[in-house]
Structure 1
Amino acid sequence: MGRKDDNSKYWRDGDDSKPDLQTDTKTGSFNQCIHRTTSETHNLADDNAGSANDDEVEEGQRGKSCEDDEEGHLAYHIGLVMKERYEVVSALGEGAFGKVVKCIDREKDEHVAVKIVKNIECFCEVARSEIAVLEEINRLDDDNRFACVRMLDWFEHEGHVCIVFELLGLSIFEFLRQNEFLPFSVEQIRHMAFQIFKAVCFVHRNKLTHTDLKPENILFVRSDYHLGYNEDLECKEKRLRSLDVKVVDFGNATFDHEPHESLVSTRYYRAPEVILGLGWNQSCDVWSLGCVMMEFYLGRALFLTHDSKEHLAMMEKVLGPVPPHLLKQTRKKHYVHSDCLNWDDEYIRKHCRPLKVYMQTQNEEERQLFDLLSCMLEYDVSRRITLEEALWHPFFSPLRT
């Protein structure tokens, strides 16, 4: 892994204990849970990198069950068989939407991840929406060329919508957390970003916007690693054996023809047009991916805040002033004074820096990376690069050849 940013402590000691209450307004959003509760294992993830093997984990959990609670979770136990096919072998994660379990598919004799959605209608509606999107993705990408998670099956069990997915590794965020938030190298970023961009570009070409791209929603296909020693940082680090990734969580994905909710994306990755209430389109995914790439580079999120005005102020410190014509269009006039963003925050002045000041070196590949980032983190949607264009940026030339 590359550098360790001086502000890595800010990531870990920051304000991420507070929930972002401005969650997606799409009915029953899966993202209503507190952002980044590190005790949760990400959906669909099988942590096969630890010292305990599957048999030890499963044996430790066998016989345990989860009690029903007021939130509508299914009471399941290890060994439960659903649809006379999927046998629960261990827990994988839990969120506001429900729980994810690792199962054995008895028909195919392979492990899968099953998302068991709460028996609450709003969450069931979101699950049905995700199923419709995933069925369309499966149909359009029948040879599995693009890095979107594969839905293998879905069914209902005792009133709970259950979605069966291929079993993947850890989320990128969870791997960062387990690796002490050591940032990725530029070469690693290029390899992961190329796959992610192609996947989301495929989604965009088919008139769909993901709306919630973040490191939690990008999973490694495998997250097994070996331990190495980083001489620059004088510390041990986990080195992944594969950088293949897949985009997951299409519960809030929106087709172009569908009504667009006013508020989308998890806070740190939310585009300025969304915050300003100017409407959004597929380019909001491009902004989110620009923030994601910076997080890969720094080891922490670029815009760590839970307040919209502060979020915009951070953008100005990093990217320069918000264009006046955008501020004139917003109805949120309490953000604006004399056609300028109204803020004066010494903390932001101290902790945020102009984008290119974050560059660790001045070599050509980092200059290309930051040029691409500046095109993605463009305030004006009409000037922001598309992912189709981004894939032809010189930063990706080594992979295109």
Structure 2
Amino acid sequence: MPFIKKNPKKVGLAKIAPKPISKPKEESDSSSDGYENSDGEYVEKPKYYRLGGYHPVVIGEDYNGYIIQKKLGFGHFSTVWLVEHKENKVQGALKIVKSAKTYTETALDEIKVMKKINECDPERKENVIHILEDFKHNGPNGQHICMVMELGGSNLLDLIKYYDYKGIPINDCKEIAKQILKALDFIHTKCGIIHTDLKPENVLLSFTIPKNKKEPIPKIIETKLADFGNANWINKRFTDDIQTLEYRSPEVILGLHWGCPVDIWSHGCMIFEMLTGDYLFKPKQGKTFTLEEDHLAQFIELLGYFNKKYLNIAPQTPKYFTRNYELKHIPNNELHLWKTKDVLIEKYKFSPEIAEPIASLIEGMLIYDEDKRFTAKMCLEHPWFK
């Protein structure tokens, strides 16, 4: 049943290493590309170092003038390495994509998106990661698309973890939220790009989070929106299978048109998570109801019932709702309505004076109708940021 009225969650490994949104047919035989080794590190499975898969990398190797320094991590599509150019000494993050055709096509689309960002921000002033270079590399497992990105620091999830999932200080949260909104306004209005996968892992900070929690966090926080591998153009869609579950918007679940407002919805969820350390929505499948029904029930509990006109035009409404506009397997009398402001005050002990403007902003970012939902610019003009 809906999360916010139940036991609070603390983020686990699923949050740190989420499953990909969609998986190409080449590798549908596995639910995960990684595992925890004997040292407690989450690493990629050796079986994916094969034709069509990852490229084997050795520290000190030269890739188009960039020398491999150390491994930064991996994802479903690629491994990522710290590199330094042997001539100009510029450091970057080298992303080496799996060589299968599906990944190559996705990478080429990502490069087009990144080049559009560079074109719209030649002086690199915006709060987004930029691409420095791209090239192809032939290896034993095929030809790999390579992208050298600006180097970021820790991600926002690392900061949430630093504070033990109890919430980032409000002033820091406000500054981070504002910078993300500026980045969204830039990609939406100047670039014609929808990120579609906004979450803490995809927001990079300008510093490394201390492992020792006695060490203070730097006072100046600069954020950069990263990972445009799932991005879509406003006027061209690559897929409708978008957004990580906890940040997924109702229009995506119900099969309606979606656009830039999906990023605003995700960011509204993320602001709550920054402030509290908890997901705003954490749907789970039950014995009598589906994952999507629980997700919709959680929306209703926090934001109220869906407008009948809205449900009448949603293609997936018959799948989840009765003719009386009730969820098929979660009746209205089992829902517990709880306003955002009250959640912040009663569960997280915010004062009413602090909770009210936060709730006002978040609820504006979580309006069901995408045409009425706040834009990034509208959010930046909200009293909470004044």
TM-score bracket relative to the smaller structure: 0.7 to 0.9
State the distance in 1 between where 2:24 and 2:116 align: 20
User: Which residue does the alignment assign to 1:58?
Assistant: none
- Which amino acid counterpart does residue 330 of structure 2 have in structure 1? D
Corresponding residue pairs, total:
358
User: Which residue does the alignment assign to 1:246?
Assistant: 224
Q: 1:394 aligns with which of 357, 372, 383?
A: 383
Q: 1:212 aligns with which of 178, 190, 197?
A: 197
Residue 370 of structure 1, CA deviation: 1.4
**Pair 1:184–1:237, CA change in 2 (3 A):** farther
**Pair 1:28–1:217, CA change in 2 (3 A):** farther
Counting only pairs closer than 5 Å after superposition, residues 1-400 of structure 1 correspond to structure 2 as 10-12=9-11, 23-24=21-22, 68-69=49-50, 72-83=53-64, 85-158=65-138, 159-206=143-190, 207-225=192-210, 239-259=217-237, 261-306=239-284, 307-332=291-316, 333-337=318-322, 338-344=324-330, 353-359=338-344, 360-397=349-386
Residue 73 of structure 1, CA deviation: 0.5
| Contact 2:51–2:99 (Cα < 8 Å) also in 1 | no
State the distance in 2 between where 1:252 and 1:277 align: 18
Residue 281 of structure 1, CA deviation: 1.1
State the distance in 2 between where 1:35 and 1:188 align: 34
Residue 263 of structure 1, CA deviation: 2.4
| Contact 2:293–2:330 (Cα < 8 Å) also in 1 | no
State the distance in 1 between where 2:60 and 2:189 align: 42
State the distance in 1 between where 2:283 and 2:240 align: 20
| Contact 2:341–2:355 (Cα < 8 Å) also in 1 | no
TM-score normalised by structure 2 residue count: 0.82
State the distance in 2 between where 1:376 and 1:251 align: 24
| Contact 1:322–1:341 (Cα < 8 Å) also in 2 | no
- Which amino acid counterpart does residue 235 of structure 2 have in structure 1? H
**Pair 1:36–1:355, CA change in 2 (3 A):** farther
Any gaps of 5 or more consecutive residues in structure 2?
285-290
CA displacement 1:279-326 (0-9 Å, x = unmatched): 201111111110111110111211112521111111111111122222
**Pair 1:126–1:14, CA change in 2 (3 A):** closer
**Pair 1:340–1:329, CA change in 2 (3 A):** farther
User: Which residue does the alignment assign to 2:287?
Assistant: none
User: Which residue does the alignment assign to 1:47?
Assistant: none
**Pair 1:186–1:156, CA change in 2 (3 A):** same
**Pair 1:313–1:20, CA change in 2 (3 A):** farther
| Contact 1:147–1:195 (Cα < 8 Å) also in 2 | yes
**Pair 1:304–1:15, CA change in 2 (3 A):** farther
TM-score normalised by structure 1 residue count: 0.79
**Pair 1:151–1:289, CA change in 2 (3 A):** same
| Contact 2:297–2:335 (Cα < 8 Å) also in 1 | no
Residue 26 of structure 1, CA deviation: 9.3
User: Which residue does the alignment assign to 1:56?
Assistant: none
| Contact 2:55–2:144 (Cα < 8 Å) also in 1 | yes
Describe the SS at the equivalent of 1:259.
Answer: coil
State the distance in 2 between where 1:26 and 1:257 align: 24
| Contact 1:208–1:255 (Cα < 8 Å) also in 2 | yes
